[in-house]
Structure 1
Amino acid sequence: MVFEGSSAAISHTGKVRSNNQDSGYSGANLFVVADGMGGHAGGDVASSIAIHRLEPLDQPYTSVEDAQASLQAAATTAAGDLIRAAKDRPELAGLGTTLSAIIMVDDYAVIGHIGDSRIYLYRDDAVTQITADHTFVQRLVDSGRITPEEARYHPRRSVLMRVLSDMDADPELDMFVMHTQPGDRWLLCSDGLSGVVDEAHILKAMRMGMAPGRTADNLLKQALDGGAPDNVTIVLVEVGGQHAMHSGTATIVGSASNPANITVPPVRAPRGNWLHPVRQAANEPSHFEPAPEYLEELIEEDRRRAKRRRLGWIAGMLVVVAMLVFAAFAAYSWTQTRYFVGADEDSVVIYQGVQQNIGPITLSTPLRDTDILLANLPPYQRDSVERTITARSFSDAEAIVTRLQAGADRVIGETPLPTPLPTETPTEDAG
């Protein structure tokens, strides 16, 4: 049974790299993305070999088991092709490629995956990453040592732990089968897209409901707008849905779209790299597959990085705390240059500080009790003292107290003294 749906494939060199090491394939039943590795030339050859080795799989299958067996066999054969290519052309030693493929069989998607290219599924207004990256940083994420967000910017995010290469004649692909349903959209992409455009923006593009070709163009534009430091390859497959099925002609993009006899460009000595560091990076491998003994070194390096990160965080917190303490001390010192005249329970007091408090912290202290009773002040002065009177300095506060004393003296002078009670004269008892 031929898959019923529409699809599109697109590949771009990106804004930094000088050649395209990615390849993509979109056919009637087969959909593949391969991201080559191996420097200036090897990646081109590796991804192209993988695509052309899988191309014959684009046919109807009677069962998912047949499709799985064919996919695994083709990947193993491709690995053998890479080994022979490296032997015949020593300049290609170390070449390899990621591989993410889907074979549609009736209502099922047969998936094979190795490396860090990805397959996403858009269903029920949500985007889900279906494949797991075979990278060093993904192991750190799986073990809980770093977060997925930290993995996006980890300096070792390009270190691949599993890949289709000239160093393994029996590659271990993740193989599984998933049920599909009308309206599903499967996105296969190299890390040139997933490393720049996050899932939230992929979801936004999918929600627009455009045909696969226009959706792929939209995602590519986002990657280019984000700098596109690596090659970008996108294969988008829509199951059923509103868009008509495309022609049965397969679409091959990237390095695999070139003639089979790929010319290996000579490696030129870099010129002016101190002026153009980005151009130097353009010819460096986008991925690296480590030797087994290198893993322990990477883990130890990551431990050192984690320790430095913790120390840096602690040092930063100490600096922030020190700044806050200094600011609080400076602010408190400033408050102690201020004065005001207020009241305690029954008398006028000169205070040092400001009238405001910060929670339980009092920003003022009594400096001198003037012994002027509030009861002896005129009502308007008593009210002002109870609301506090701000002074510019201690001498200004004393001047305010002098005026208050004068007011109190006037009140005392205007108040008539109480009439003394008459003194009784003792009398003698009669008799």
Structure 2
Amino acid sequence: MSRSAAVSHVGKIRSNNQDSGYAGRYLFLVADGMGGHAGGDVASAIATKRITETDKQYASPHDAEFALKSALLAANSLLAETVFEHSELTGMGTTVSGILRVDDKVAIAHIGDSRIYLYRDGHLEQVTSDHTFVQRLVDSGRITPEEAAVHPRRSVLMRVLGDVDASPEIDTAVRETRPGDRWLLCSDGLSSYVAEEKIAAVLASVPSAREAADRLVRESLDQGAPDNVTVVVVDVDDTADNSHASPTIVGSAALPLQFDGETERRALRLPSLLLHPLKATQPDDSHFEPESDDYLAALIAEDRRRARRRRVTWLVFLLLVIVGIVFGLLLGYQFTQRHYFVGVEDGRVAIFQGVQQDIGPIQLSHVFEETTIEIDDLPAYRQSAVEQTINATDLADARRIVEQLSNDRLP
């Protein structure tokens, strides 16, 4: 038996929900649409409704894997046909991440940057890999995951279902599952705003699938997420029989399709223009690009230029800091040289310029004038005072002190 829940929210900025989610008897999926007001919701809804036809029992997990992949490709064809009939939807597309359970295994199919996580024995594992440009950079060791989170190209998708690629590459796999496992499927409205440590904490502490899904959506909204957020939580126990569960559809797939007469409300877009919701604060700033060598080369070249600019900026900043420190030290040294004091040099009274303190090996004073007054010729109390140094207000004052010491010499 799989206890599950699906929750979707429009987010804090968007006016419509372009996500779709499904929690069924054996199938669970999340789809994150893109393509503007009249495209993203249609794309995720069409894909979700087509893929839910696979929600049934299969003889083996590999049969389920094949069926799930075939359903995603069929959904891709449906999207292309829809765009052919409704040109105002040109450029729409959707991510899809889904699992189909067969006994103690799950078949997985994934395309885009929605995610599938497995929470098991206190550990959260990201099962899918984002099909984004920055993930390519992370995988190749060019940038760190922390740098990817703030990279200006972090929202460029390399693979989606849509009207661009007739045969998109879809990641599939078969994974073991066991009682106590908790599967999480989510759009980037969750993963881009809530840290994995927090996600794991919620999955660990909230026993109900429905309450856990609600809590994760709230966490995303509390972080100010402008994007739609969709969460599907699936709890696994000791049987795969889920035939009595009532399927749940959320998001745009739960509503009737509405895209006729939208031409005037949405400008035509080429496939490579703004398509996907941004993961920061400008909802329409990211997009999808087909996975071509030329485009990847252009992005990598741009990233190299950006890295060079960043290094040059840091070098200039470091140079300015060093110049500032040196300038400050020079000013400080000049300030110390306005002071005078009387002390002992080679057993004789001398006038020093500077201050008594030193900074490590750097001496902040030097002998300015030597005298013929032997320190031993002075009374004991005068010797002690000179040895401890006597501050002067200026050079004239220092000379008056020396004159006084000369008058105090022992006969």
What TM-score do you get using the length of structure 1 for normalisation? 0.84
Cross-structure match for 1:88: 85
SS in 1 for 2:125: strand
Aligned length: 395
CA distance 1:264–1:372, change in 2 (3 Å): farther
Residues 96-127 of structure 1, C-alpha deviation per residue, up to 9 Å, x if partnerless?
11111112222223211111111122233332
CA distance 1:179–1:283, change in 2 (3 Å): closer
Cross-structure match for 1:295: 296
Residues 114-143 of structure 1, C-alpha deviation per residue, up to 9 Å, x if partnerless?
111111222333322221111111112222
Cross-structure match for 1:128: 125
Preserved contact between residue 23 and residue 252 of structure 1 (Cα < 8 Å): yes
SS in 1 for 2:37: helix
Displacement of 1:264 in angstroms is 6.3
| Residue 307 of structure 2 is aligned to residue 310 of structure 1 | no
Displacement of 1:24 in angstroms is 0.7
Q: How many Å separate the matches in 1 of 2:350 and 2:204?
A: 71
CA distance 1:27–1:334, change in 2 (3 Å): same
Preserved contact between residue 109 and residue 170 of structure 2 (Cα < 8 Å): yes
Residues 30-67 of structure 1, C-alpha deviation per residue, up to 9 Å, x if partnerless?
11111111122111111111111121222233321111
Displacement of 1:195 in angstroms is 1.4
| Residue 175 of structure 2 is aligned to residue 215 of structure 1 | no
Preserved contact between residue 65 and residue 107 of structure 2 (Cα < 8 Å): yes
Pairing partner for 1:69 from 51, 63, 66? 66
Cross-structure match for 1:275: none
| Residue 193 of structure 2 is aligned to residue 164 of structure 1 | no
Q: In structure 1, what residue type is equivalent to 2:147? A: E
CA distance 1:264–1:221, change in 2 (3 Å): farther
Q: How many Å separate the matches in 1 of 2:385 and 2:205?
A: 68
What aligned pairs does 1:274-423 form with structure 2 within 5 A after superposition?
Answer: 284=284, 287-290=287-290, 292=292, 293-407=294-408, 409=409, 412-413=410-411
Residues 68-96 of structure 1, C-alpha deviation per residue, up to 9 Å, x if partnerless?
11111111111111111111111111111
Preserved contact between residue 86 and residue 93 of structure 1 (Cα < 8 Å): yes
Q: How many Å separate the matches in 2 of 1:378 and 1:182?
A: 95
Cross-structure match for 1:418: none
Preserved contact between residue 186 and residue 236 of structure 1 (Cα < 8 Å): yes
CA distance 1:285–1:85, change in 2 (3 Å): farther
CA distance 1:343–1:282, change in 2 (3 Å): closer
CA distance 1:130–1:269, change in 2 (3 Å): closer
| Residue 16 of structure 2 is aligned to residue 15 of structure 1 | no
Q: In structure 2, what residue type is equivalent to 1:294? A: Y
Q: For structure 2, list consecutive stretches of 5 or more residues without a partner in the other structure.
A: 268-277
Q: In structure 2, what residue type is equivalent to 1:289? A: E
Q: How many Å separate the matches in 2 of 1:205 and 1:349?
A: 75
Q: In structure 1, what residue type is equivalent to 2:245? A: G
Displacement of 1:199 in angstroms is 1.7
Preserved contact between residue 23 and residue 255 of structure 1 (Cα < 8 Å): yes
Residues 265-291 of structure 1, C-alpha deviation per residue, up to 9 Å, x if partnerless?
455489xxxxxxx9xx87737532347
| Residue 140 of structure 2 is aligned to residue 139 of structure 1 | no
| Residue 176 of structure 2 is aligned to residue 176 of structure 1 | no
Q: In structure 2, what residue type is equivalent to 1:322? A: V
Q: How many Å separate the matches in 1 of 2:332 and 2:285?
A: 56
Q: How many Å separate the matches in 1 of 2:361 and 2:285?
A: 62
Q: How many Å separate the matches in 2 of 1:357 and 1:335?
A: 11
CA distance 1:208–1:386, change in 2 (3 Å): farther
Preserved contact between residue 99 and residue 107 of structure 2 (Cα < 8 Å): yes
Residues 171-208 of structure 1, C-alpha deviation per residue, up to 9 Å, x if partnerless?
21111122223332222111111111222322333343
Displacement of 1:210 in angstroms is 4.1
Pairing partner for 2:197 from 200, 210, 213? 200
CA distance 1:401–1:178, change in 2 (3 Å): farther
Preserved contact between residue 57 and residue 70 of structure 1 (Cα < 8 Å): yes
SS in 1 for 2:391: strand
Preserved contact between residue 348 and residue 369 of structure 1 (Cα < 8 Å): yes
Q: For structure 1, list consecutive stretches of 5 or more residues without a partner in the other structure.
A: 271-277, 414-431
Q: How many Å separate the matches in 1 of 2:125 and 2:25?
A: 24
Displacement of 1:390 in angstroms is 2.5
Q: How many Å separate the matches in 1 of 2:243 and 2:316?
A: 59
RMSD: 2.5
Q: In structure 2, what residue type is equivalent to 1:375? A: D
Preserved contact between residue 45 and residue 252 of structure 2 (Cα < 8 Å): yes
Q: In structure 1, what residue type is equivalent to 2:284? A: E
Q: In structure 1, what residue type is equivalent to 2:200? A: L
SS in 2 for 1:98: strand
Q: How many Å separate the matches in 2 of 1:125 and 1:48?
A: 34
Cross-structure match for 2:44: 47
Q: How many Å separate the matches in 1 of 2:207 and 2:383?
A: 78
